[in-house]
Amino acid sequence: MVGLALLGYGVVGSGVAELLQKNAAHIEKKAGGKIGLRHILDIRDLSRTPYADLATQDFSQIENDPDVQVIVECIGGVGTALDYVSRALRAGKHVITSNKELVAEHGAELLAMAKERNLNFLFEGSVGGGIPVLRPLAQCLAANQLYEIVGILNGTSNYILTRMLHQSASFDEALREAKSYGYAESNPVDDVSGRDACRKICVLASLASGRHVYPAQVDTEGITQIGGSDMRFAQRNGYRVKLLGRAIFREPAVCNVIYVAPHLVPEDHPLAGVHDVFNAVWIHGDTVGEVMFYGRGAGREPTASAIAADIIDTAKHMTARKWLGWDPSDSRERLSPVELPSVWYVRTAQGGQLTEPMTARKYDAWARTLPKEPEYRMRVL
Would you call 322 a catalytic residue per the annotation? no
CA–CA separation, 155 and 168 (whole Å): 18
Rounded to the nearest whole angstrom, what is the least distance from the CB of residue 103 to ligand HSE in the complex? 11
Binding-site member from 101, 105, 196, 313 for ligand HSE (CB under 6 A) = 196
CA–CA separation, 342 and 317 (whole Å): 45
Rounded to the nearest whole angstrom, what is the least distance from the CB of residue 196 to ligand HSE in the complex? 5
Give the range of 182-190, 205-213, 242-250, 308-316 binding ligand HSE by CB under 6 A. 182-190
Cβ contacts of residue 242 below 8 Å, gap of 6+? 152, 158, 161, 262, 263, 265, 271, 272, 274, 381
Is residue 366 within 8 Å of 355, Cβ to Cβ?
yes
> What letter does residue 146 receive in the DSSP assignment?
E
Q: Does the footprint of ligand HSE cover residue 137 (CB under 6 A)?
A: no
Cα radius of gyration rounded to whole Å, the chain: 21
Helix (H/G/I), strand (E/B), else coil: 168: coil
Binding-site member from 14, 69, 97, 154 for ligand HSE (CB under 6 A) = 154
CA–CA separation, 75 and 215 (whole Å): 20
CA–CA separation, 201 and 340 (whole Å): 17
CA–CA separation, 256 and 284 (whole Å): 15
With 0-12 / 13-18 / 19 or more C-beta atoms within 10 angstroms meaning exposed / middle / buried, residue 28 is middle
Whether the CA torsion 141, 145, 146, 147 is positive or negative: it is negative
* Residue 159 or 345 having the CB closest to ligand HSE: 159
Backbone angles phi, psi at 249, to 5 degrees: -115, 115
Task: Quote the strand ranges of 165-238, DSSP E.
Answer: 219-220
Q: Does the footprint of ligand HSE cover residue 222 (CB under 6 A)?
A: no
Rounded to the nearest whole angstrom, what is the least distance from the CB of residue 176 to ligand HSE in the complex? 14
* Residue 35 or 122 having the CB closest to ligand HSE: 122
CA–CA separation, 359 and 336 (whole Å): 11
- Residues from 274 through 303 that contact ligand HSE (CB under 6 A): 297-298
Give the range of 31-39, 74-82, 83-91, 150-158 binding ligand HSE by CB under 6 A. 150-158
Cβ contacts of residue 168 below 8 Å, gap of 6+? none
Binding-site member from 105, 124, 191, 313 for ligand HSE (CB under 6 A) = 191
Q: Does the footprint of ligand HSE cover residue 155 (CB under 6 A)?
A: yes
Give the range of 36-44, 49-57, 180-188, 264-272 binding ligand HSE by CB under 6 A. 180-188
Give the range of 20-28, 184-192, 232-240, 262-270 binding ligand HSE by CB under 6 A. 184-192
Rounded to the nearest whole angstrom, what is the least distance from the CB of residue 159 to ligand HSE in the complex? 7
Residue type, 364: D
Give the total residue count for the chain: 381
Q: Does the footprint of ligand HSE cover residue 14 (CB under 6 A)?
A: no
* Residue 6 or 184 having the CB closest to ligand HSE: 184
Binding-site member from 70, 95, 184, 208 for ligand HSE (CB under 6 A) = 184
Q: Does the footprint of ligand HSE cover residue 193 (CB under 6 A)?
A: no
Q: Does the footprint of ligand HSE cover residue 156 (CB under 6 A)?
A: yes
* Residue 71 or 298 having the CB closest to ligand HSE: 298
> What's the half-sphere exposure (Cβ side, CA atoms, 13 Å) at 35?
33
Catalytic residue, chosen from 179, 200, 322, 362, is 200
Applying CB under 6 A, what is the total number of residues that bind ligand HSE? 11
Give the range of 132-140, 179-187, 332-340, 360-368 binding ligand HSE by CB under 6 A. 179-187
Q: Which residues are catalytic?
A: 200
Binding site for ligand HSE (CB under 6 A): 129, 154-156, 183-185, 191, 196, 297-298
